[in-house]
Homo-oligomer: A and B are copies of this chain.
């Protein structure tokens, strides 16, 4: 819980900085930048998961070093502090270019719990991915499940 509290404190501080120190037009630019940054993070998850998925499905030959590299990357990505990427007012009702539901900000404890589930699953996959194809395949389900749990709860359907 200590880590979550620290992260939440960082969120509040980041929101305070955003609201207090910047002019209105500057905030809009900041929100757009935050959305771009979190979408870049998602893109890096997808890229590395795509590499692993190709191996898991047999479309690409299993390679232990490449699998470990991608799984390490995913584990690293879960350690990014994303708090500056999710400012208040960056939900899909407030701005264009995002599918993030406003429920994220009213359910932050659940969002954090889902984030922890992802980092736990990613750590397991990091340990398993280089051992062999069956181990990789077995570890991917929990990662995909953790991604999907958050998307299902907090992402608007594609328009």
Contact = CB atoms under 8 A, between A and B. Distances in A.
Contacts of A20: 61
Nearest to A69: B81
B83 A69 contact: yes
Contacts of A37: 43-44, 47-48
Contact of A10 (B14, B40, B65, B80): B65
30 contacts: A6-B65, A10-B66, A13-B66, A14-B63, A14-B66, A17-B60, A17-B61, A21-B61, A22-B60, A33-B47, A36-B43, A36-B47, A37-B43, A37-B48, A39-B40, A40-B40, A40-B43, A40-B47, A41-B44, A44-B44, A47-B84, A47-B85, A66-B84, A69-B84, A70-B81, A70-B84, A72-B81, A73-B81, A76-B80, A77-B80
User: Could you say how many copies of this chain the assembly holds?
Assistant: 2
Given A21-B60, A65-B10, A84-B70, A40 B51 contact: no
B63 A13 contact: yes
The 9 closest A-B pairs by CB, nearest first: A40-B40, A37-B47, A69-B81, A40-B43, A10-B65, A21-B60, A40-B44, A73-B80, A76-B76
